[in-house]
Amino acid sequence: MNEVTGNVVGNRSGFSLSIVVPAYNEEEVLKECHQRIADVTANIDGNAELIFVNDGSTDGTLEILQQLKSTDPRIAIVDLSRNFGKEIAMTAGMDHARGDAVVVIDADLQDPPELIPEMIRHWQDGYDVVYAKRTSRAGESALKKVTAYLYYRTIGKLSRVKIPADAGDFRLLSRRAVDALAGLREQHRFMKGLFAWIGYPQKAIPYERHARHDGKTKWNFRSLWSFAIEGITSFSIMPLKVATYVGVATAFGAFLFGLFLIIQTLLFDNPVAGYPSLMVAVLFLGGIQLIALGIIGEYLGRMFDETKGRPLYLLKGYQAAERSTDD
């Protein structure tokens, strides 16, 4: 059955599935989201639990989750002590997932839950990570599309692990992949990179990303920018090396220019007229040095955060799903 890894996977049927849904101020969409997921899970041959992570919402998200839980005992609620951001919310959800396979999906229905059965099929064939790859992004600005495109290409070039382009966080993970991820406790979590870092057989399935069902995106330009920096600094030390190369190139250029000045002075007895070139050289070098310092600072700041060794998140509450009897 499993030609991919050569391991015995066993018969992955009669399995249990955990679906992790991070939610931050999603009161408008949660009911619809639950409905769509419930429709899908009704038709799979396994048990499902739905883990909603309330990421410090300030609206009625938690109340709606409680309501839903009273009608559907398969729901678990992980209530974080404050807003920690999607990456950590997903991690909290995965930490509480008990299934043989775990699906991570956005609450806003941009990722169609109807793809889950297909993901399960690939997992049953032996893949550890089945991720959805966008073929289109509806309802997003041209600027966001272009920057996303360029960004995934850049990080693909810089990073030592292969981060698939145009894949979001919507994916299915096998138990061993979830356990592997659980061992990576870095504060600065670039999940797309971490998913790729664990390796294991991975499979992409194409899908069309829909516009948000309701509510609005939690991203703004600033958060996207820091997300982008996060991705690069977490998975590449290339920027640190750039300073070395630029330094060598500048020094070499300066050496040649020095030679040129000496020869010019010896041969043509050039009167000193160096103010503009001096200014340019001083400012140019000053700029480069500050950039290099800033880059070092980005990495240093991250080391500072990691050395504190704080837990990734704190819980305000946790209500487990009720296990079905045939579990």
Question: Residue 2 carries which DSSP code?
Answer: -
Positions 101 through 130 that interact with ligand UDP (CB under 6 A): 106-108, 110
Q: List the one residue out of 227, 284, 208 whose CA is nearest residue 251.
A: 284
Enumerate residues 6+ apart whose C-beta is below 8 A from 292: 242, 243, 246, 247
How many residues at the interface with ligand UDP, by CB under 6 A?
A: 16
Closer CB to ligand UDP, 79 or 106, in the complex: 106
Quick check: 65 binds ligand UDP (CB under 6 A)? no
φ, ψ of residue 105 to 5 degrees: the values are: -145, 145
Binding mask 67-106 for Mg ion (x = CB under 5 A): ----------------------------------------
Task: Tell me if 86 contacts ligand UDP by CB under 6 A.
Answer: yes
236: contact with Mg ion by CB under 5 A: no
User: String of b and e for 130-158 (b: at least 16 CB within 10 Å)?
Assistant: bbbbbeebeeeeeeeeeebeebbeebeee
Region from 9-17, 192-200, 213-221, 289-297 binding ligand UDP, contact rule CB under 6 A: 213-221
Q: Among Mg ion, ligand UDP, none, what does residue 26 contact (CB within 5–8 Å per kind)?
A: ligand UDP
Helical packing angle, 221-235 and 142-158, nearest 10°:
10
| Closer residue to ligand UDP, CB minimum distance, 12 or 189 | 189
Q: Which does 202 bind (CB under 5 to 8 A by kind): Mg ion, ligand UDP, none?
A: none
Q: Under the rule (CB under 6 A), what is the footprint of ligand UDP?
A: 22-24, 26, 55, 83, 85-86, 89, 106-108, 110, 217-219
